[in-house]
Chain A
Amino acid sequence: MTVDVLLAVENVSLRFGSVTAINNVSFDIRRGEIRAIIGPNGAGKTSMLNVINGFYQPREGRITFRGQTRSRMRPALAARQGIARTFQNVALFRGMSTLDNLMTGRTVHMRRGFGWQLLRHGPAMAEEIEHRRKVEEIIDFLEIEAIRRVPAGRLPYGLQKRVELGRALAMEPELLLLDEPMAGMNREEKEDMCRFILDVNQQFGTTIALIEHDMGVVMDLSHRVVVLDYGRKIADGTPDEVRRDQAVIDAYLGVAR
């Protein structure tokens, strides 16, 4: 059986000085799946996302995205190739409206140069209209019509998270990296966010890799889970397999003596 692998991580290691953040980790993300990366604090989850979108350069190992193995990657290049992400701590433009924040997500798709855009006429205008249409679809999708004109900084935290997801979606990514999308949310906000993530996956067919601490959420949402501990991979499989894995139980609960 052939599996359609969108992104493969092979023997990746990442060190900061003498600290080994990621130690010889390999796993893959299949096209169309929701892949969770879990592990205790400091396990190297966020570092892993940072390696995938080119923010960090791994010391060793290879990353293959859409069949292309890369030697060097930068975040801007990753974005252009179709990798979008959200952050553990919301990173929106606080003074800009929801709408404008989402429009920045369209930057990677803008063809006309800066000069044309300043003119706001002709082809630049047509392009802007097209981008706005796309953004409005996302606003509708995420049900944030009422905050279209509200500066992001004035929004409650749960909505900021949603706007951040919106901005990532505006890039129309092939791979969406979500760093703790439900952190700090109440139960209702979490349920909403879960529904949006599932809908993104089903409706747009977007492949999603997410880091999350809420185990209930992870087990419900994801198709496959990879577990990291102290920078090493200790388990990889379906939620059920991972849940029963002794190494995972030990890592989370501590080893009984």
Chain B
Amino acid sequence: MAASGTGHGTTGHLATVRGQTLDRGSTFPRLLLDNAARHGARPAYRHKDRGIWQTWTWAELVPIVRAYAAGLARLGLRRGDTCAIIGANRPRLYWTITAVQMLGGIPVPVYADSAADELAYVLAHADIRFAVAQDQEQVDKILSVAARLPVLEEVLYDEERGLRGYDHTHLHSLDRVIEDGSAALRSDPALNPWLDDQIAQGGPDDTCVILYTSGTTGRSKGVRFATGRAIRAGRDSVAFDRLTERDEVLAYLPLAWVGDHYLSYVQGMLAGFCIACPESQDTVRENLREIGPTYYFSSPRVFEAFLTDITVRMEDAGALKRWLYRTFIDIARHHGEAILDGRPVPFRARALYTLGERLVYGPLKNMLGFSRVRVAYTAGEAVGPDLFSFYRSIGMNLKQFYGQTEAFIVVTAQPDGEIRSDTVGRVMPNVDLRIAEDGEIQVRTPGQFTGYLKDPDRTAEALTADGFLRTGDAGFVDASQHLHIIDRARDVGRLTTGTLLAPKYIENKLKFYPNIREAVVFGHQRDMVTCFLNIDLTAVGNWAERNGVTYASYQELAMHDRVYDLLAGHVARVNRDLATEPAMAGAQIRRFLILPKELDADDGEITRTSKVRRGFIADRYDTLVTALYGGEREIDFTTEVTFEDGRRGAVAARIKIRDVAAAELVA
């Protein structure tokens, strides 16, 4: 690296900092020095470059970041200045965060894929004076909107390709800034103490980062976080999963996303673990296999994609392999989770599981890059129980947490040994959580944001009068002190009996049955819960074939009495499930019908991203809803459909309505 050998050993810096009797590890630059002092030879960052993994240890990192900070200071970056960081997960972009923090500046990571217009908004809103871009693409984007950014002064870039011919009056190569800083630290005796003083001036109330929300609703908001709070929140979660400098992550989620900032940067600094940066966005899966992280996060969708991939590949495998896979996955399904949780398992099962680990689970985990995973998390949406237990049964410690940007992520998390697919875990230490009258989850967290930048109105809206954060999610805490997320708070309704109704919560439970494609639950301001169901043609068609049910069309299959029986069984199971939760027991499904047509985005019934548009459906199928609540057993119904080629036609059917018994509350 360019800046090795500034002539200052790590311990030297620490001594200087200690000399001023500072709290160790109370700011991110001090955490860097701490890590270098505690385990300087451990890897801090890795990056696959030119096909080879390059590694920087904590001790090697200190002089680089110091030189970088000195270089930035010489370009004019001062305490309180904001510095935008735009690009993929590259070590030097993470180092930019630390270097800026070292000078008391505020890093502002920006989504690399934001359009020029969005970028201009964020850069102008945050009064960006300095911008660090990954490559030509990002530099071009910044330069194209530079006219709208009156306070922007200097632009730095990491990768030089294509930029050689550009006007370099206010454009700088990151390498050269580090070199310049390194040379200045050597030649100017006053600069080192000055930099130490800058580090010493950092305090818990400094804004350590501003992260912009992705802005799906309205203009994105700049969420401000304070150093002291961020570190407190990080410490709690690092202790929760006992993360140490021996852990390793692959940083592949957007740098500007609060999740990456927390899981990679903040936890990495606190635990001292190694952050590996992939070669490119396209090589993430390959790099995952090479690195074998011990701590891993991904969305349920990604885990689902992996599983689908495995399933498809197994279908194509030879007969022996398929038999092995099926046999041992079956053993894992029965005993795997118990073994993972340390519960008692019969000797024979344990022996077979050990054999399975050798033959199937081990190679499978290796193929996915999960061989070394000690803790894996998923969050963000509901996870199907089958998906969740698949990974757990093959010995991967997959858990769920619940978090919010403004809370600085983790609100609840599942402790080892208390893992269920339908909860998001226990309230984290130092977090206050309460459920408001309308079912909304409200929290006060150690890492809580200090407000939206330049937006006191929306800051006030996000908080209650006594300083709790309104999460906008509805949920309840069960007897085992685990939190269940049931829906967005604004979608939660109430039956006339006063029971809380969370339509999505019930719909998700129904949709976990492969035979049910879609479900639409009603009941707000009604005396009971009812629902529409859509069959899944593939799954139910398969079942029909095996059970001798003949049919000529989707409609005929959907209207079949035995299909009604089949789905009534699923609904009864969901009711039994709901009955186990006192908060939900009153909201069991009492009547349902199966729609004769599939809900379709072309008809406006679901969104393009497959979300049910409940209000629209209630209007369109008004007569059916009335019938559900009117006590009829059958109703004639005609509706218009749009075919794939755009033609319109009508579907007419006699639709049956089934009653379902409520299950007894299980105490």
Contact = CB atoms under 8 A, between A and B. Distances in A.
A202 interface: yes
Contacts of A195: 162
A145 B280 contact: yes
Given A145-B279, A146-B282, A146-B283, 4 more contacts: A133-B50, A146-B286, A195-B162, A203-B164
Interface in A173-223: 195, 198-199, 202-203
A198 B165 CA distance: 11
Interface of B: 48-52, 161-162, 164-165, 279-280, 282-283, 286
Contacts of B286: 146
A139 interface: yes
A140 B280 CA distance: 10
B162 A199 contact: yes
Nearest to A135: B51
Nearest to B50: A136
Interface string A224-239: 0000000000000000
A15 interface: no
A93 interface: no
A143 B279 CA distance: 10
A-side binding surface: helix, strand, loop or mixed? helix
B-side binding surface: helix, strand, loop or mixed? loop
Contacts of B283: 145-146
A198 B161 CA distance: 11
B134 to A, nearest CB: 13
A145 B51 contact: yes
Contacts of A137: 50
A132 B50 CA distance: 9
A202 B49 CA distance: 22
Contacts of A199: 161-162
A141 B279 contact: no
B51 A148 contact: yes
Given A145-B282, A146-B280, A146-B282, A139 B161 contact: no
Interface of A: 132-133, 136-137, 139-141, 143, 145-146, 148, 195, 198-199, 202-203
A148 B279 CA distance: 12
B164 A202 contact: yes
Nearest to A138: B50
B161 A136 contact: no
Contact of B52 (A136, A143, A146, A202): A136
21 contacts: A132-B51, A136-B50, A136-B51, A136-B52, A137-B50, A141-B161, A145-B51, A145-B279, A145-B282, A145-B283, A146-B280, A146-B283, A148-B51, A195-B162, A198-B162, A199-B161, A199-B162, A202-B162, A202-B164, A203-B161, A203-B164
A136 B279 CA distance: 12
Nearest to B285: A146
A139 B162 contact: no
Point out which of A145, A146, A195, A202 has the most chain B C-beta atoms below 10 A from its C-beta. A145
A145 B88 CA distance: 15
Nearest to A149: B286
Contacts, number: 33
Nearest to A140: B50
Nearest to A134: B50
A133 B52 CA distance: 9
A100 to B, nearest CB: 13
A6 B249 CA distance: 51
B165 to A, nearest CB: 6
Contacts of A136: 50-52
B612 to A, nearest CB: 35
A165 to B, nearest CB: 15
B282 A139 contact: no
A4 to B, nearest CB: 20
Contacts of B162: 195, 198-199, 202-203
A9 B442 CA distance: 79
A140 to B, nearest CB: 5
Contacts of B48: 145
A136 B280 CA distance: 14
A137 B50 CA distance: 6
Point out which of B49, B162, B164 has the most chain A C-beta atoms below 10 A from its C-beta. B162
B164 A143 contact: no
Contacts of B50: 133, 136-137, 139-140
A63 to B, nearest CB: 32
A9 B267 CA distance: 65
A139 B49 CA distance: 10
B52 to A, nearest CB: 7
A140 B165 contact: no
B89 to A, nearest CB: 14
A139 to B, nearest CB: 7
A141 B162 CA distance: 10
Contacts of A133: 50
Nearest to B280: A145
A163 to B, nearest CB: 15
A148 to B, nearest CB: 7
Contacts of B282: 145-146
Contacts of B52: 136
Nearest to A132: B51
A148 B51 CA distance: 9
Closest 6 CB pairs of A and B: A146-B282, A136-B50, A136-B51, A145-B279, A146-B283, A145-B280
Contacts of A148: 51
A146 B280 CA distance: 8
B164 A139 contact: no
A172 B51 CA distance: 19
Contacts of B279: 145
Point out which of B51, B164, B279, B280 has the most chain A C-beta atoms below 10 A from its C-beta. B51
Point out which of A139, A140, A143 has the most chain B C-beta atoms below 10 A from its C-beta. A140
A28 B327 CA distance: 71
Contacts of B165: 202
A98 to B, nearest CB: 11
Contacts of A203: 161-162, 164
A224 B50 CA distance: 34
A140 B279 CA distance: 9
B140 to A, nearest CB: 11
A198 B163 CA distance: 12
A188 B279 CA distance: 22
A137 B48 CA distance: 12
A143 B280 contact: yes
Contacts of B49: 140
A195 B164 CA distance: 14
A156 to B, nearest CB: 13
B554 to A, nearest CB: 36
